[in-house]
Amino acid sequence: MQKVKKIITLFSAIRLIPHIILFNLHKNRKIVKYEVERWLKCTKIEANTQYGFIYLMTFYPEFRNLFYYRTKHISYLIQWLCPKMDTLFLCAPKIGPGLFIQHGFATMIGGKGIGKDCWINQQVTIGWTNDTDAATLGDNVTVYAGAKILGKVHMGNNSVAGANAVVLKDVPENCTVVGVPAYICKRNGIKVKEKL
């Protein structure tokens, strides 16, 4: 299977020539390079950055969305060559480097900001409850499948929102929250049961 993927990647490089040029010349190339390396690590793919970029663009539509987010309006000219995932929306005005999106199907990443090295799964909503109240994620936050983080809330650094959790209040650093509404089930690695 790996040999087949290598061949597909090499052929895909032809359609990705404009993307490769943009990757190497865009002002955000350092962030994109960092993200390529993080995605390769998260997906356990051993490759150099250039080949890894082509591989990720070929097989990971979630990565395409992130690349187009980083390269902004200029990417509209080339998106037709390698389409985005149409059910994944990156709407936050600020997304820190290193965002990893695993199975980004039906996912809305909005809110005021996303920190560095966050990990977000499928069917997640991070967003607004009205025109002014929106969520913010700190660094190294993980949001599992189906979780909702809504309103004027902050997920602290190194925190986790469990699958299908509904987070409507601030989450302290180094905590795991689960449930509807979410409550703290782990703080600093120790099991607890605390209200938010």
Domains of the chain: 2-81 (no CATH), 88-195 (2.160.10.10)
Give the model confidence (pLDDT) of 42-56 as tens digits.
999 999 999 999 999
pLDDT in tens, 134-143: 999 999 999 9
pLDDT, tens digit (0-9, with 9 covering 90-100), for 109-128: 999 999 999 999 999 999 99
Task: Give the pLDDT mean for 149-170.
Answer: 98
Per residue, the 3-state secondary structure of the chain, as one string, reads CHHHHHHHHHHHHHHCHHHHHHHHHCCCHHHHHHHHHHHHHHCCCCCCHHHHHHHHHHHCHHHHHHHHHHHHHHHHHCHHHCCCCCCEEECCCCECCCCEECCCCCEEECCCEECCCCEECCCCEEEECCCCCECEECCCCEECCCCEEECCCEECCCCEECCCCEECCCECCCEEEECCCCEEEEECCEEEEEEC
pLDDT at 162 over 90: yes
